[in-house]
Amino acid sequence: MRGTAQLLIVFVICMMISPYIYAGQIGYLGQRSYSLEKVWESDRVFKVPESVCYDPKGKSLYVSNIDGRPDAKDGRGFISKLSPNGRILKLKWATGLNAPKGMAIFRERLYVSDIDRLVCVDLATGEILKTFPAEGARFLNDVAVDERGYVYVSDSSRNSAIYRLKEDRIEVWLK
């Protein structure tokens, strides 16, 4: 009986670690080696860059620039537009923002979190089309869009909520 129990323990341990071994998570002495290779770099002209969003259709990168404190409503924030190889196409592509952070794209629109509002920007022009104040929000941060086009934005303040833009109306979706 004792041998069976020991065999069972060994079997359970093997079953527990086998997915990690198979997935390559455990290598020589439990370590995996990773390396980064610089592919390109851009000019050092960004002003407190916070987030990057890639547009596969337009083959462009968008960089949010806070240009000050992350909670300052000072109008200094902007979005830069870059090519995939890092060339700055327009440093101040979208202006009139305070402290832009997370971004997401849906149907030719770039949605940007901006302290206590969600901003909708036209991808073709960089013009602000509409702003959606998020009542009670203090530090809107990341943005995501689902397949139906609902835009979600997190509030990273003590308020700790997720807002959802649905049919041109922003609401608390999760608190």
Judging by beta carbons within 10 Å of its beta carbon (0-12, 13-18, 19+), is residue 162 exposed, middle or buried?
Answer: middle
Mean pLDDT to the nearest integer, 120-145: 97
Residues 6+ apart with CB under 8 A from 170: 118, 132, 133, 134, 135, 163, 164
Q: Which tens digits make up the pLDDT trace of 14-69?
A: 555 555 554 554 455 566 778 888 888 887 899 999 999 999 999 999 999 999 99
Q: What pTM was estimated for this model as a whole?
A: 0.79
CATH class assigned to 49-174: mainly beta
Q: Which tens digits make up the pLDDT trace of 78-130?
A: 999 999 999 999 999 999 999 999 999 999 999 999 999 999 999 999 999 99
Residue 37 to residue 134: CA distance in whole angstroms: 40
Report residue 118: phi and psi, to 5°.
Answer: -105, 135
Task: Output DSSP code: residue 115.
Answer: B
Residue 144 to residue 141: CA distance in whole angstroms: 10
The encoded tokens of residue 67 equal 């240009």
